[in-house]
């Protein structure tokens, strides 16, 4: 037990969790905490908007597998974090948000919280539906235990954001702090071991399957189960389709990988999923964007569903074999049993069908130097970037083109806002990823509209010396929305034209970053190579046609087998 102030205890508790970096913006209600960064090894990265801080914390977490931490002052600081917290919640990413709050008591009143004090916002109430859990501290002595619990909850089971709201007076309150107490949370005991009976049933089903397919979700990446998943696929000689969030859970250049499924999924993945007789779905929540119409989704198949979150099983899709467990543990068990029973399995006609479907449906890009097409751009980018480069995306066409045409080869190298679809996520997330992996290139594949939403973080990346590469697929339009207006509103455009403002090259330069423009594939390749060599953030502006569509597409109200347009 040692006596110290609440502010000091927060920093100390974070150090005990091995936090090495915090993204944040200070303000009146967190001044005391910030005062203690002086004496700490923890690096504080001053962002230019709290949304950027939350996304950066998420990018850090997704790239590293460790929890990311962000901090903001009370009121507007806290509410600015909300989009970032919601994003982390939807994509099950462990981030810890620490917010200042108005004091519980002060000299002239007995209670400040609840009196609409200056910069008071009920951030606990606001974030209840978008956090895995949240706390408002009532006394300084609670700090060590609460921080420990927050990290435990955020990182175990199905991960997610946890917020700790710290009233200002508790930061200066001195109390006896106990950092070695064991924590106990009565209502929280995530189940990680699979039920042996369900494993039996799954194995039986898989062995008799003639056309098995694996659907790999984000949970496989979270649980670091890529190796086990690929081994299982190889034992079964089953193709692996991924959800959007599962992209990168298997190397997309592997012969059994067929790409991601869904509205803008790879047609081979969508088609093979429809033909399969047994689906082994792992760590995926069958979101509407993945499944298309539910009643036609894998209607011929028996389904095995592994998920650590029991509530995901049966939520959107009825399954035959439910397995509530950690993906890695369950897959290890399953593969172990399959290997014994499927020794010397020969390639079946299904394996040929997989090859043939891929060949038929995945055409390489047409290379036209003058007419810059996203597919060709992304193919070139893949060739230039090393396999372990981290790629983030913004939201819209840029994101779906990346999903379709940019092969991800390693887990945790694809960082994109899947569940919430947050424009402006990718750039600050790449800053966070770069902090986590400073020796690897980090690239944000951006749309012009999205980039404008958090572009102020260029200042963060330049002043904090965190060089990333932003590739703006600049169609001068809110492209995805324009596409929907073309497809579903007879081409009546409303409020989608962005025009040519700003000039992204000059914008980058104004921030002290490098700005490059590429108007041909050749220039593009040159620009990327130059950016990779540069030790400052580079924005590469690539003008593309504003009429470009993302196809193939599953139209709303259709099954994923009914895509329109060619890959």
Ligand X SMILES: Cc1ncc(C[n+]2csc(CCOP(=O)(O)OP(=O)(O)O)c2C)c(N)n1
What does the binding site for Mg ion look like in residue numbers (CB under 5 A)? Answer: 447-449, 475, 479
Active-site residue among 118, 341, 367, 509?
A: 118
Active-site residue among 480, 504, 514, 548?
A: 480
**Contact of 133 with 159, CB cutoff 8 Å:** no
Return the structure tokens found at 436. 């986590």
Is 168 labeled as catalytic in the residue annotation? yes
Kindly state the smallest distance separating residue 446's Cβ from ligand X, in Å.
7
Q: Which of 107, 108, 182, 187 binds other proteins (CB under 8 A)?
A: 187
For residues 487-498, one letter each, b for 16 or more C-beta atoms within 10 angstroms of the residue's C-beta and e for the rest, the string is eeeeeeeeebeb
- Is residue 91 near ligand X by the rule CB under 6 A? no
Is 118 labeled as catalytic in the residue annotation? yes
Residues 6+ apart with CB under 8 A from 525: 380, 384
For residues 22-52, one letter each, b for 16 or more C-beta atoms within 10 angstroms of the residue's C-beta and e for the rest, the string is bbbbbbebbebbbbbbeeeebebbebbbbbb
**# residues near ligand X by CB under 6 A:** 19
Kindly state the smallest distance separating residue 91's Cβ from other proteins, in Å.
17
Q: Which of 183, 207, 310, 342 binds other proteins (CB under 8 A)?
A: 310
Binding partner selected for residue 481 from Mg ion, ligand X, other proteins, none, CB under the kind-specific 5 to 8 Å limit: ligand X
Kindly state the smallest distance separating residue 489's Cβ from ligand X, in Å.
14
Give the residue from 495, 544, 549, 501 showing the smallest Cα distance to 524.
544
Binding to ligand X (CB under 6 A) within 373-402 occurs at 394-398
Active-site residue among 4, 16, 37, 119?
A: 119
Q: Which residue has the tokens 């600081």?
A: 77
Q: What are the φ and ψ backbone dihedral angles of 40, each rounded to 5 degrees?
A: -125, 155
Strands 414-415 and 442-447, sheet pairing = unpaired
Is 302 labeled as catalytic in the residue annotation? no
Separation between Cα atoms, residue 343 and residue 25, nearest integer Å: 57
- Decide: helix, strand or coil at residue 230: helix
Binding partner selected for residue 186 from Mg ion, other proteins, ligand X, none, CB under the kind-specific 5 to 8 Å limit: other proteins
Binding to ligand X (CB under 6 A) within 443-462 occurs at 447-450
Q: What are the φ and ψ backbone dihedral angles of 477, each rounded to 5 degrees?
A: -155, 155
The three state secondary structure string of 385-447 is: CCCCCEEEECCCHHHHHHHHHCCCCCCCCEECCCCCCCCCCHHHHHHHHHHHCCCCCEEEEEE
Distances (CA, A) of 182 to 133, 147, 488: 19, 12, 57
Q: Which of 129, 364, 491, 557 binds other proteins (CB under 8 A)?
A: 129
- Is residue 314 near other proteins by the rule CB under 8 A? yes
Binding partner selected for residue 129 from Mg ion, other proteins, ligand X, none, CB under the kind-specific 5 to 8 Å limit: other proteins
Binding mask 139-168 for other proteins (x = CB under 8 A): --------------x---------------
**Half-sphere exposure of residue 265: CA atoms within 13 angstroms, side-chain side:** 36
- Is residue 479 near ligand X by the rule CB under 6 A? yes
Binding to ligand X (CB under 6 A) within 404-423 occurs at 421-423
Active-site residue among 8, 132, 149, 168?
A: 168
**Chain residues in the site for other proteins (CB under 8 A):** 124-125, 128-129, 132-133, 136, 153, 185-188, 309-311, 314-315
**Chain residues in the site for ligand X (CB under 6 A):** 394-398, 421-423, 447-450, 473, 475, 477-481
Task: State the catalytic residues.
Answer: 50, 118-119, 168, 480
């Amino acid at each position: 037990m040692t006596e110290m102030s609440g502010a000091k205890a927060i920093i100390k508790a974070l150090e005990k969790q091995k936090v090495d970096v915090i993204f944040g913006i200070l303000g009146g209600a967190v001044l005391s905490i910030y005062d203690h960064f002086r004496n700490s090894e923890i690096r504080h990265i001053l962002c230019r908007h709290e949304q950027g801080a939350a996304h950066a914390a998420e990018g850090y977490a997704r790239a590293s597998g460790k929890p990311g931490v962000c901090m903001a002052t009370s009121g507007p600081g806290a509410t600015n974090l909300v989009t970032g917290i919601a994003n982390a919640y939807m994509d099950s990413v462990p981030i810890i948000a620490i917010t200042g709050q108005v004091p519980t008591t002060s000299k002239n009143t007995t209670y400040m919280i609840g009196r609409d004090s200056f910069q008071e916002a009920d951030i606990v109430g606001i974030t209840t539906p978008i956090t895995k859990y949240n706390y408002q501290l009532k006394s300084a002595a609670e700090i060590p235990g609460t921080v420990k619990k927050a990290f435990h909850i955020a990182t175990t089971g199905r991960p997610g954001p946890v917020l700790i709201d710290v009233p200002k007076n508790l930061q200066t309150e001195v109390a006896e702090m106990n950092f070695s107490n064991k924590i106990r949370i009565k209502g929280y005991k995530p189940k990680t071991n699979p039920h042996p009976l369900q494993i039996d049933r799954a194995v039986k089903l898989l062995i008799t399957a003639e056309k098995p397919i694996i659907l790999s979700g984000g949970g496989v990446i979270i649980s670091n189960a890529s190796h086990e998943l690929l081994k299982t696929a190889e034992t079964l000689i089953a193709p692996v389709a991924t959800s959007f969030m599962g992209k990168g859970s298997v190397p997309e250049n592997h012969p059994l990988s067929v790409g991601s499924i869904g509205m803008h999924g790879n047609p081979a993945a969508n088609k093979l999923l429809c033909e399969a007789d047994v689906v082994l779905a792992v760590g995926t929540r069958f979101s509407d964007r993945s499944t298309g119409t539910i009643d036609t989704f894998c209607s011929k198949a028996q389904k095995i569903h592994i998920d650590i979150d029991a509530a995901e099983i049966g939520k959107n899709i009825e399954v035959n074999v439910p397995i509530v467990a950690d993906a890695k543990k369950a897959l290890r068990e399953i593969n172990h049993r399959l290997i014994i029973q499927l020794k010397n399995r020969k390639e079946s006609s299904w394996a040929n069908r997989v090859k043939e479907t891929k060949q038929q449906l995945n055409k390489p890009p047409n290379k036209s130097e003058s007419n810059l097409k996203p597919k060709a751009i992304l193919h070139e980018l893949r060739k230039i970037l090393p396999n372990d480069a981290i790629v983030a995306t913004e939201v819209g066409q840029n994101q779906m083109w990346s999903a379709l045409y940019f092969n991800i080869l390693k887990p945790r190298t694809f960082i994109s806002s899947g569940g919430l679809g947050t424009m402006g996520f990718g750039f600050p997330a790449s800053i966070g990823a770069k902090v986590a992996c400073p020796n690897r290139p980090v690239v944000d594949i951006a749309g012009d509209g999205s980039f404008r939403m958090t572009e102020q973080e260029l200042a963060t990346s330049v002043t904090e010396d965190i060089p990333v590469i932003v590739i703006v697929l600049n169609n001068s339009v809110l492209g995805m929305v324009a596409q929907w207006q073309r497809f579903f509103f007879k081409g009546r455009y409303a409020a989608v034209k962005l025009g040519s403002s700003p000039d992204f090259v000059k914008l980058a330069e104004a921030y002290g970053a490098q700005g490059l423009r590429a108007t041909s594939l050749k220039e593009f390749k040159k620009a990327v190579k130059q950016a990779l060599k540069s030790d400052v953030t580079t924005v590469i502006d690539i003008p593309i046609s504003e009429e470009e569509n993302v196809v193939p597409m599953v139209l709303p109200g259709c099954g994923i087998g009914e895509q329109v347009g060619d890959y």
